[in-house]
C-alpha cells in the first residue's frame, strides 16, 4: 500500500487543524506539520512539526521547500489564504505536489472584486458601490477586497460609520447589504468529471469569520451555483463558497476559496473526506462519494491540549469514582489506559471495590485491561503497592492521594486531571 507523506502548512490554522483531523486516521497518509516557532496550536496538534517562518516573513517559501525535500514530502497542503496565493501556479515545491487548482483560480478568488467581476452574470453576486453611490444606498457592507475571516468587515448604517469603516482599510470594498441567512457550500470537483459534490450548511454562529455553529441543510439551488462556479474557475479538489440571501430572497455569492474551510467537518462526518479525496484527485484515481443521508449539526468550542512537566513509567489507578463514575465507565480514563498500553507502560488497578473486582471488570468488558489488579482489604495502604519512583497515582480520594504523595513522593492526580495526560497528536 502506498503511504503518502503529507505536509500541512501552516499547521496551526483552523484549516490546518481540520486537514489534520481528516487525515490522521487514514492508512494512506503519514502526517507532518510546519509553521512558525512561536505560540502555535500546530506544535501541540502534530506529532511531527517543523519550524519555518510565517507566510508574511522573508524566506518562508525557501524554508518550506527545504522541509519538503528533507522529509521526502509527497504532498504539500496549503492551509492559509496567503500561502495559497504564494504557491499559486506551482505544481511542486521541493519535490512535493502542491494541493491546489490552477494559478487563475487561486489568484481570482483571493480578491473579492475579481471574483465578483468574473462571476457576474452567471450567478448573483453583491452589487459593489463607489463611495458616493454608497452614501445613497445605506446600509452597506464594507470589507477588505483581500481578506479572510471577518477581519475588517463592518455594517455601515450612517455616513460617519461608512467613513470610519472605509478609512480603516487599505482596499475597502463597499457592497450591498444582504440581510438574509448565510450558508457555506462545501464542494469537490474532479478535473475531468466536473462537480462531484456540493453540500450546503447553515452558518449559525460565527467567530472570526468561521462558522463555529453550523448545520447541514438541503439547499437545491446550491448545486447549480456550484457547478457554474466550478466550471468557470476550473476548480478541482476541495473548495467552497459562501452564500447569503438578499432582501428579495435570492442567493448571492459572497466569496469563493480553493481550500478546506475549518468547519467542513460537518460533511466529513457524513462520509466526504475532502482532504483525502483531493489527494486521490491529483493521482487521477477513480473517485466515488458515499454521503450518508442524515443531518449533522456541529458546535465548535475551544479544545485543550497540554504538555505536562513530568514523565512516568507506570500508572496506578483507582476503580470506584475514578475509572467507574456515576454508574458508568469514565471513557477519558479508559482512553488514557489504552494510551499507556500502546506506549508499553504498565497500568495497575488499586481498588477497595466492595465486590469481586474481576466480576465487575468482566461485566464492563475490561477484564484483561490491567497488568495486575490489587484488591486491598481494610487497613491496607495503597502506597505499599506502588513499586516505582517514577509511577503516577490516579484516585478521586484526596486522602488516598495525600497518603501516596507523602509516602512515595510521586505525582498524584484526580480524575479531572487525566485530560492533561492525553497525548493524541496528528501523526
SS (H, E, C) 83-107: HHHHHCCCCEECCEEECCCCHHHHH
Is the CB of residue 399 less than 8 Å from the CB of residue 419? no
Residue 401 grid cell: 492521594
Nearest to 128 by CA among 118, 141, 109: 141
CATH 3.40.50.20 segments of the chain: 4-100
Evaluate if residue 146 carries a pLDDT over 80: yes
Evaluate if residue 150 carries a pLDDT over 80: no
- What are the phi and psi torsion angles at 314 (to 5°)? -160, 165
Mean pLDDT of the chain: 94
* H or E element, residue 315: strand 314-317
CATH 3.40.50.1000 segments of the chain: 314-421
Is the CB of residue 407 less than 8 Å from the CB of residue 330? no
**Is the model's pTM score more than 0.85?**
yes
Q: Average of pLDDT values for 221-240?
A: 96
CATH architecture entry for 179-292: 2-Layer Sandwich (3.30)
Residues 244-290: pLDDT tens digits?
A: 999 999 999 999 999 999 899 999 999 999 999 999 999 999 999 99
How many CB atoms are located within 10 Å of the residue 148 CB?
18
378 or 116: which carries more pLDDT confidence? 116
Is the CB of residue 96 less than 8 Å from the CB of residue 75? yes
Q: What is the pLDDT of residue 149?
A: 64
Angle at 178 between CA 177 and CA 180, to 5 degrees: 145
CATH architecture entry for 4-100: 3-Layer(aba) Sandwich (3.40)
Q: Average of pLDDT values for 347-372?
A: 96
Residue 389 and residue 410: Cα distance in Å, rounded?
A: 7
Residue 76 grid cell: 504539500
Residues 160-209: pLDDT tens digits?
A: 998 999 888 888 899 999 999 999 999 999 999 999 999 999 999 988 88
Pairing of strands 194-207, 154-156: unpaired
* Residue 376 DSSP label: P
Q: What is the pLDDT of residue 388?
A: 97
Interior/surface letters 206-239, b for 16+ CB within 10 angstroms, e for the rest: eeebbbbbbbbeebeebbebbeebbeebebbbbb
Of the chain, the percentage scoring pLDDT greater than 90 comes to: 87
Return the SS3 of 203.
strand
Is the CB of residue 184 less than 8 Å from the CB of residue 240? yes
Residue 2 and residue 29: Cα distance in Å, rounded?
A: 8
Is the CB of residue 146 less than 8 Å from the CB of residue 110? yes
Q: What is the pLDDT of residue 301?
A: 86
CATH 3.30.470.20 segments of the chain: 179-292
Burial class (CB in 10 A: 0-12, 13-18, 19+), 160: exposed
CATH number of 314-421: 3.40.50.1000
Angle between helices 14-23 and 274-282 (to 10 degrees): 80
Amino acid at each position: 500500500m502506498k503511504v503518502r507523506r503529507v505536509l500541512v502548512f501552516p499547521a496551526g490554522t483552523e484549516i490546518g487543524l481540520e486537514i489534520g483531523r481528516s487525515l490522521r486516521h487514514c492508512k494512506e497518509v503519514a502526517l507532518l506539520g510546519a509553521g512558525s516557532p512561536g505560540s502555535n496550536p500546530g506544535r501541540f496538534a502534530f506529532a511531527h512539526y517543523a519550524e519555518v517562518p510565517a507566510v508574511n516573513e522573508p524566506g518562508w517559501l525557501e524554508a518550506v521547500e527545504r522541509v519538503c525535500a528533507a522529509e521526502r514530502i509527497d504532498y504539500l497542503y496549503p492551509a492559509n489564504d496567503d500561502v495559497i496565493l504564494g504557491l499559486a501556479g506551482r505544481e511542486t515545491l521541493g519535490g512535493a505536489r502542491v494541493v491546489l487548482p490552477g494559478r487563475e483560480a487561486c489568484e481570482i478568488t483571493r480578491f473579492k472584486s475579481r471574483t465578483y467581476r468574473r462571476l457576474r452574470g452567471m450567478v448573483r453576486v453583491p452589487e459593489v458601490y463607489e463611495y458616493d453611490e454608497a452614501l445613497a444606498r445605506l446600509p452597506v457592507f464594507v470589507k477588505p477586497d483581500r481578506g479572510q475571516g471577518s477581519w475588517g468587515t463592518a455594517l455601515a448604517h450612517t455616513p460617519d460609520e461608512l467613513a470610519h469603516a472605509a478609512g480603516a482599510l487599505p482596499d475597502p470594498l463597499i457592497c450591498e447589504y444582504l440581510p438574509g441567512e448565510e450558508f457555506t457550500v462545501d464542494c469537490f470537483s474532479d478535473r475531468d468529471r466536473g462537480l462531484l459534490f456540493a453540500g450546503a450548511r447553515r452558518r449559525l454562529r460565527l467567530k472570526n469569520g468561521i462558522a463555529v455553529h453550523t448545520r447541514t441543510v438541503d439547499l437545491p439551488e446550491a448545486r447549480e451555483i456550484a457547478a457554474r462556479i466550478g466550471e468557470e474557475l476550473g476548480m478541482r479538489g476541495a473548495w467552497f463558497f459562501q452564500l447569503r440571501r438578499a432582501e428579495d430572497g435570492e442567493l448571492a455569492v459572497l466569496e469563493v476559496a480553493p481550500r478546506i474551510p475549518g468547519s467542513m467537518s460537518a460533511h466529513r462526518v457524513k462520509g466526504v473526506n475532502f482532504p483525502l479525496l483531493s489527494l486521490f484527485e491529483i493521482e487521477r484515481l477513480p473517485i466515488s462519494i458515499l454521503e450518508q443521508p442524515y443531518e449533522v449539526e456541529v458546535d465548535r468550542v475551544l479544545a485543550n491540549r497540554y504538555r505536562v512537566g513530568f514523565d512516568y513509567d507506570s500508572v496506578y489507578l483507582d476503580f470506584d469514582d475514578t475509572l467507574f463514575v456515576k454508574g458508568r465507565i469514565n471513557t477519558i480514563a479508559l482512553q488514557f489506559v489504552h494510551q499507556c498500553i500502546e506506549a508499553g507502560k504498565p497500568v495497575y488497578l488499586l481498588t477497595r471495590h466492595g465486590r469481586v473486582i474481576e466480576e465487575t471488570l468482566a461485566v464492563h468488558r475490561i477484564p484483561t485491561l490491567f497488568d495486575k489488579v490489587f484488591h486491598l482489604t481494610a487497613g491496607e495502604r495503597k502506597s505499599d503497592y506502588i513499586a516505582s519512583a517514577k509511577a503516577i497515582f490516579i484516585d478521586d480520594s484526596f486522602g488516598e492521594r495525600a497518603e501516596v504523595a507523602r509516602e512515595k513522593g510521586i505525582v498524584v492526580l484526580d480524575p479531572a486531571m487525566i485530560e492533561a495526560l492525553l497525548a493524541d497528536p496528528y501523526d
